[in-house]
């Protein structure tokens, strides 16, 4: 998607569809699918080698795994303050979930985990994403 397309919502039902293998609406109904059914695309995670993984939404999944690991480690020590671990949505749309959570919890500090997209692959420029695969946490390549 172009940067302009990313700012817009889908306006018509013809712009987005999921191929379920049905030949028409009646075939989909026979499969037990009806309008409004929740869906979640299935995506395997594949190990590519060189300690790299390929999969859908790894930015969010890795962030969740990091928070769960940290929560388990913090649970083993007695901290003099409360720690909230929150998993939110809509980070691509102005950090809506994170901002709402910060206000609701009245936290003194919030740390948001998010990963960037490597700027060193086709169709992405270094101006759109400063990260480069293998350089570590948001190191800006020179």
Q: Strand (E) positions, the chain?
A: 46-49, 52-54
DSSP of 4-22, one letter per residue? Answer: HHHTS---SGGG-----S-
Tell me, yes or no, if 91 is annotated catalytic.
yes
Q: How far apart are CA 141 and CA 131, in angstroms?
A: 7
Q: How far apart are CA 119 and CA 123, in angstroms?
A: 9
Among 91, 92, 114, 128, the one annotated catalytic:
91
**Active site amino acids:** 91
């Amino acid at each position: 998607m172009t940067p302009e397309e990313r700012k817009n919502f889908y306006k018509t039902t013809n712009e987005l569809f999921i191929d379920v293998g049905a030949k028409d609406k009646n075939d989909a109904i026979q499969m037990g699918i009806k309008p409004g059914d929740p869906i979640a695309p299935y995506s395997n995670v594949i190990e590519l080698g060189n300690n790299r993984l390929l999969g859908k939404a790894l930015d969010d999944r890795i962030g969740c795994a990091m928070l769960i690991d940290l929560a388990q480690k913090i649970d083993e020590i007695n901290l003099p303050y409360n720690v909230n671990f929150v998993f939110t949505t809509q980070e691509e749309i102005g950090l809506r979930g994170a901002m709402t959570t910060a206000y609701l919890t009245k936290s003194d500090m919030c740390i948001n985990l998010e990963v960037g997209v490597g700027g060193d692959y086709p169709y992405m420029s270094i101006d759109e994403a400063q990260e480069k695969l293998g350089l570590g946490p948001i190191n800006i390549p020179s």
